[in-house]
Amino acid sequence: MECVVQGIIETQHVEALEILLQGLCGVHRERLRIHEICLKSGPNLGIVSSEVRLLCDIEQPEPTWTVRHVGGSMRGAGAEQISVLIRTVVESKASKNVLRLFYALGYKLDHELLKVGFAFHFHRGAQITVTVSSVNKMLKLHATDDAVPVTPGIQLVEVTAPATSENYTEVVAAVSSFCEYLAPLLHLSKPGISTGVVPTAAAAAASLMSDGGGTTL
């Protein structure tokens, strides 16, 4: 399973966010260019529809493929009271023939996206990944070079951390604590809960840009 929160930030403030993340994480960013293909099962695979995402990392000299299935989220009174979504996730590396395989199984293309940006991977109470990306749609099938932004001027920020049924409480605490440092620039919440941009972002970004990120926290 994984713990996840999301938020949005205006593109003009992304550089300031990168400076802040660099200071917080103490590691270098990794460039991100992911072609995401969302497939849904056909009627021959059962009454209940299933969805899988094929992620192709085209930033690498030799593109790599990952199959990702996101299951249900934790429910109940306890889950409602925390600000982080806990959900089941299954991932597996795959060969370049994976799309052909899923088509043969009866899956159909639902939509595809191109996510371009950067990511930080670090340990801070848990193994945390922060991705900042522009989400783009393809005007033609698989035409990543011609992709256009879904929401011009806005980028998606996602914070994730792997967890187990034994340690998810500690992971939730680590993610929540880390997100507090980003609060002046953006608000992070469970996926699907839109909170918009933060009114203080412009002032916080200006401060970060003026001092170059300050000291590592």
| Res 4 pLDDT > 60 | yes
Tokens 């680590």, residue located: 174
- Asked if residues 93 and 9 have their Cβ atoms less than 8 Å apart, the reply is no
Instruction: At 108, give phi and psi (nearest 5°).
Output: -120, 150
- Asked if residues 150 and 133 have their Cβ atoms less than 8 Å apart, the reply is no
Report d(CA 56, CA 58) in Å as an integer: 6
Report d(CA 3, CA 167) in Å as an integer: 11
> Greater confidence, 6 or 47?
6
What's the pLDDT score for residue 57? 96
DSSP label of 63: -
| Res 216 pLDDT > 70 | no
pTM: 0.90
| Res 214 pLDDT > 80 | no
> Greater confidence, 187 or 196?
187
Average pLDDT over residues 136-162: 95
Q: Count CB-CB contacts under 10 A for residue 176.
A: 17
Report d(CA 175, CA 131) in Å as an integer: 14
- 198 burial level (CB within 10 Å; 0-12, 13-18, 19+): buried
Report d(CA 22, CA 138) in Å as an integer: 31
Write down all domains in the chain, each with its CATH number in brackets: 2-209 (2.40.320.10)
| Res 60 pLDDT > 50 | yes
Q: Which residues does 49 contact at the CB level (< 8 Å), separation at least 6?
A: 40, 41
What's the pLDDT tens digit per position in 79-117? Answer: 788 889 999 999 999 999 999 999 999 999 999 999 999
Q: How confident is the model at residue 72 (pLDDT cuts 50, 70, 90)?
A: confident
- Asked if residues 154 and 9 have their Cβ atoms less than 8 Å apart, the reply is yes
- Token digits of residue 145: 């070079």
What's the pLDDT tens digit per position in 22-37? Answer: 999 999 999 999 999 9
Element (H, E) at 92: strand 85-94
Report d(CA 154, CA 134) in Å as an integer: 7
